[in-house]
């Protein structure tokens, strides 16, 4: 997992009146999913292209795991950095399999290894290899082409993946499927991802942290939840729709709002297991309903209201090596935490919540990265009636 650091990065194109990227500084933690969000022309693509040296900064430094990328040969650097370009960019005269194999071939892998990798990746992006390997890009839908683009970027097993509006120009339903697949992939592969979009909802749903850009500058850099609850200015507030609580709940994932498991959780679960061997489907041994860490807060809220349970157990789903689906508890979510995720929420934290960090979310889990530096906070919802409306 590679850390990328941008230090005072500025890019001025020849004959331009203003810099395309203007003194940007931020750090992308290894294994995290960072989204660059901003209007057309604000410098997102330019910033991204400087990471694999398609553009060189006018001033400032970008480091990859502490190494100034100017010290790396561009070709060596680009092998470590997968890149999905803004317009998919598949080679039209090559089949799907040949497109995905481009980087492994450059890396000189054996034929067998390349073939296995292509099949593995197509399966990963939900394109059954037997059906799709031999097709040409023109024989695919837009969404399928985007998936091939993602598979191609991952092919050489890069440490870093840059994605420039990979789901742009795709209908809303396919886009939402691709976003879910992206989250699933990221949970499995744990790459360092910089993902560009100008779709606010996509950013709020996918990001561990969002860089909000305007006229080449970083306006705010934080978790989706922090940006929603503490937008730096009126423009960001309006951009992310920070005043619309219902919308927020539909966009923010459970992982950003939950607290970690209490220290004695596992012991209690073991105890419950030994005293009550039969646990209900979709619930933990303690009896609480479960919710996936990638579900939205709105879904979690309906579940709390439907079941009347005080707390939901948040689980992470993953397939074991043998292909069995397993769910691991990673946190807890109560109404209080959902309240804390709403505008003005932290003015009314629950007793004892202020200043005290919650229990820890497992190190290295996606859920932990989603919580970012901000961590869970407690608070109250002023507009209770809106919560009740969700029940219907």
Ligand X SMILES: Nc1ncnc2c1ncn2[C@@H]1O[C@H](COP(=O)(O)OP(=O)(O)OP(=O)(O)O)[C@@H](O)[C@H]1O
Residue 277 interacts, among Mg ion, ligand X, none and using kind-specific CB cut-offs from 5 to 8 Å, with: none
Q: Is 14 helix (H, G, I), strand (E, B) or coil?
A: coil
Stretch that binds Mg ion, among 31-39, 45-53, 219-227, 263-271 (CB under 5 A): 45-53
Of 49 and 299, the one with the shorter C-beta distance to ligand X is 49
Q: For residue 219, give the H/E element and its range.
A: strand 217-222
Q: Does 20 bind ligand X (CB under 6 A)?
A: yes
What CA–CA distance (Å, rounded) separates 10 from 282? 51
Of 162 and 291, the one with the shorter C-beta distance to Mg ion is 162
Which position among 1, 8, 13, 310 is part of the footprint of ligand X (CB under 6 A)? 13
User: Total number of residues binding ligand X (CB under 6 A)?
Assistant: 12
Is 1 within 8 Å of 34 (Cβ atoms)? no
Q: Return all residues near 300 (Cβ < 8 A) that are at least 6 apart.
A: 254, 291, 312, 333, 338
Q: How far is the CB of 232 from ligand X (least distance, A)?
A: 19
Residue 153 interacts, among Mg ion, ligand X, none and using kind-specific CB cut-offs from 5 to 8 Å, with: none
Site residues (CB under 6 A) for ligand X, limited to 186-215: 198
Which residue is associated with the tokens 């500084």?
A: 25
Q: How far is the CB of 321 from ligand X (least distance, A)?
A: 40
Residue 198 interacts, among ligand X, Mg ion, none and using kind-specific CB cut-offs from 5 to 8 Å, with: ligand X
Residue 301 interacts, among Mg ion, ligand X, none and using kind-specific CB cut-offs from 5 to 8 Å, with: none
Q: How far is the CB of 341 from ligand X (least distance, A)?
A: 28
User: 10 Å Cβ neighbour count for 290?
Assistant: 17
Query: How big is the CA angle at 391 (ends 386 and 392), to the nearest 5 degrees?
Result: 100
Q: Does 42 bind ligand X (CB under 6 A)?
A: yes
Which residue is associated with the tokens 């890149």?
A: 83
Which position among 2, 46, 223, 229 is part of the footprint of ligand X (CB under 6 A)? 46
What CA–CA distance (Å, rounded) separates 383 from 365? 33
Residues in the chain, how many? Answer: 392
Which position among 45, 222, 365, 371 is part of the footprint of Mg ion (CB under 5 A)? 45
Write the Ramachandran bin of 215: left for phi over 0, alpha for psi from -120 to 50, otherwise beta. left
Binding mask 119-158 for ligand X (x = CB under 6 A): ----------------------------------------
Is 206 within 8 Å of 182 (Cβ atoms)? yes
Q: How far is the CB of 85 from ligand X (least distance, A)?
A: 11
Q: How far is the CB of 156 from ligand X (least distance, A)?
A: 25
Of 13 and 91, the one with the shorter C-beta distance to ligand X is 13
Q: How far is the CB of 45 from Mg ion (least distance, A)?
A: 3
User: Total number of residues binding Mg ion (CB under 5 A)?
Assistant: 1
Q: How far is the CB of 56 from ligand X (least distance, A)?
A: 12
Q: Phi and psi of 46, rounded to 5°?
A: -60, -45
The Cα-based distances of 207 to 26, 37, 177, 204 in angstroms read 15, 10, 16, 6
DSSP code per residue over 269-301 = HHHHHHH---PPTTB-TT--BEEETTSBHHHHH
Q: How far is the CB of 16 from ligand X (least distance, A)?
A: 6
Which residue is associated with the tokens 């901000």?
A: 374
Chain residues binding ligand X by CB under 6 A are 13, 16, 20, 38, 40-46, 198
């Amino acid at each position: 997992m590679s850390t990328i650091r941008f230090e005072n990065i500025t890019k001025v194109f020849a004959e331009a009146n203003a810099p395309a990227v203007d003194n940007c500084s931020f750090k992308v933690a290894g294994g995290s999913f960072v989204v660059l969000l901003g209007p057309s022309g604000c410098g997102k693509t330019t910033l991204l292209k400087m990471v694999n040296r398609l553009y060189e900064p006018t001033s400032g430094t970008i480091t990859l795991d502490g190494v100034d990328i100017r010290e790396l040969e561009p070709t060596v650097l680009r092998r470590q950095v997968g890149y999905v370009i803004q317009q998919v960019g598949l080679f039209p005269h090559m089949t799907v399999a040949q497109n995905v194999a481009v980087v492994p071939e450059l890396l000189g892998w054996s034929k067998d290894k390349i073939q296995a990798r292509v099949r593995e990746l197509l399966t990963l992006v939900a394109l059954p290899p037997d059906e799709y390997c031999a097709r040409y890009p023109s024989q695919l839908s837009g969404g399928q082409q985007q998936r091939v683009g993602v598979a191609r970027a991952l092919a050489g097993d890069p440490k870093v993946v840059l994605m420039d509006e990979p789901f742009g120009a795709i209908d809303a339903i396919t886009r939402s499927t691709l976003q879910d697949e992206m989250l699933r992939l990221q949970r499995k592969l744990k790459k360092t991802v910089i993902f560009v979009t100008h779709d606010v909802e996509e950013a709020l749903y996918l990001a561990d942290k969002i860089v909000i850009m305007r006229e080449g500058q970083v306006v705010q850099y934080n978790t989706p939840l922090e940006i929603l609850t503490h937008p730096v200015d009126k423009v960001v507030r309006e951009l992310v729709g920070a005043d619309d609580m219902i919308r927020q709940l539909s966009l923010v994932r459970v992982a950003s709002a939950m607290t970690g498991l209490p220290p004695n959780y596992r012991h209690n679960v073991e105890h419950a297991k030994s005293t009550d061997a039969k646990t209900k489907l979709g619930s933990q041994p303690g009896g609480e309903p479960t919710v996936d860490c990638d579900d939205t807060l709105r879904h979690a809220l309906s579940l709390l209201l439907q079941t009347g349970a005080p707390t939901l157990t948040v689980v992470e789903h993953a397939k074991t090596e043998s292909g069995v689906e397993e769910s691991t508890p990673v946190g807890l979510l109560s109404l209080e935490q959902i309240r804390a995720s709403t505008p003005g929420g932290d003015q009314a934290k629950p007793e004892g919540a202020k200043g005290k960090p919650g229990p820890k979310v497992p190190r290295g889990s996606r859920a932990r990265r989603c919580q970012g530096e901000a961590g869970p906070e407690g608070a109250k919802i002023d507009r209770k009636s809106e919560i009740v409306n969700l029940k219907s």
